[in-house]
Amino acid sequence: MVQEPVATARAGRKPAVTLDVLLAAAAELADDSGLESVSFRALGEKLGVSPMAVHRATGGIDALRHALVAGLVEEAIASIRWPEEWQGVVSTFAYGLRDLLLRHPLVLEAHRTASLDAPGADDVAHRVVAALTSAGLGPEQAAYGYAALHDFVTGHVSIRLGRGELELLEVAPDRRDASVFAEHHDYDRRFETGLAILIAGLESLA
């Protein structure tokens, strides 16, 4: 992500730390311990600078957290290559959002309390809705179709991150054997099959 150079505290003084370095360190902290772990003190200790140097470079902790989330979302959106057919648009959106949230859980954490306020995020939503409309869905169906896709992805990632990849291996054998997922517990297949079912449902509406 491209950021403006950090302003100096006094004319002629070199900045103690740049915003790019701060955002990278903040991403590591937040992905490991949550957004609330991102503080001036924690960043200062991680980078070997004073909390005041972090403050001067960011303008405030809320501004830093917002820039962190927005930058990661913008970076992910910039890498998308959209196909022409509507099913491809839907699949690209779903896998792209899943991969972003798995790579940076901090984005999911921020998204639980507010919509993603980042350049291009609304454009992505409108692109998916437009693709569903082109398939023959009405405006309301297309909007709720997008919502169903969005909620499926965020719900899947929330469960996957919360329970971990070895979920069934960490429960008692009798409980594991009783689970409907005893023989079918591959998270990637779970996502792939769920998305295929959703696309088939959207096709039936179209």
Q: Rounded distance, CA 95 to CA 195, Å?
A: 9
What's the pLDDT score for residue 172?
63
CA dist 11 → 4, 54, 120, 169 (Å) = 17, 18, 35, 59
Domains and CATH numbers, the chain: 1-59 (1.10.10), 82-205 (1.10.357.10)
What's the pLDDT score for residue 34?
86
Q: What is the pTM of this model?
A: 0.79
**pLDDT tens-place string over residues 20-62:** 899 999 999 998 888 888 989 999 999 988 888 888 888 788 8
* pLDDT tens digit at each of 206 positions of the chain: 434 433 434 444 445 688 889 999 999 999 888 888 898 999 999 998 888 888 888 878 888 888 899 999 999 999 999 999 999 999 999 999 999 999 999 999 888 878 888 888 999 999 999 999 999 999 999 999 999 999 999 999 998 988 765 554 555 666 656 665 656 568 899 999 999 999 999 999 88
Q: Computed from CA positions of residues 108, 113, 189, 86, in that sequence, does the dihedral angle turn out positive or negative?
A: negative
Q: Rounded distance, CA 36 to CA 134, Å?
A: 42
CB atoms within 10 A of CB 25: 19
What's the pLDDT score for residue 119?
80
In order, the DSSP letters of 110-122 are HHTTS---STTHH
Q: Rounded distance, CA 146 to CA 79, Å?
A: 21
